[in-house]
Amino acid sequence: DGGITQSPKYLFRKEGQNVTLSCEQNLNHDAMYWYRQDPGQGLRLIYYSQIVNDFQKGDIAEGYSVSREKKESFPLTVTSAQKNPTAFYLCASSIGVESTEAFFGQGTRLTVV
């Protein structure tokens, strides 16, 4: 089945540690996105990528890093520089500049203790 897979669903890390969230898609989409969602709030764009080996900062990129070495994969690293990393993280993909909507993964709930 085609879709977007985020893993793991729940992730716990100690404060000060870097952690990488996985996002894989088999939809052959060019564009991929990472969003952060805090309780009762909207989705804030962290990073997005239009094509392999290219990515742009979103609205809240500080403390995060990404890579796009393969079309299918867009991992997000939450670094120790991120002051409030505990949140729900959503990955999405879309064909690209065309009109179709974005498809979302199931999300990863990151808790830093």
Partner 1 sequence: AQTVTQSQPEMSVQEAETVTLSCTYDTSESDYYLFWYKQPPSRQMILVIRQEAYKQQNATENRFSVNFQKAAKSFSLKISDSQLGDAAMYFCARKETSGSRLTFGEGTQLTVNP
Please give the residue ranges that form the binding site for partner 1 (CB under 8 A). Answer: 30-31, 33, 35, 37, 40-45, 48, 50, 56, 58-59, 88, 90, 92, 94, 96-97, 99, 101-102, 104, 106-107
Shortest spacing between CB 86 and partner 1, in angstroms: 15
Smallest distance from the beta carbon of 81 to partner 1, in angstroms?
21
Smaller CB separation from partner 1, 11 or 43 = 43
Separation between Cα atoms, residue 83 and residue 67, nearest integer Å: 21
Amino acid at position 91, single letter: C
Contact between residue 26 and residue 3 where contact means Cβ atoms under 8 Å apart: yes
Closer of 79 and 104 to partner 1 (Cβ): 104
Residue 80 or 109 having the CB closest to partner 1: 109
Strands 43-51 and 54-57: antiparallel
User: Token pair 């992730």 is at which residue?
Assistant: 11
CA–CA separation, 80 and 23 (whole Å)? 20
Nearer to partner 1, 65 or 103 (CB): 103
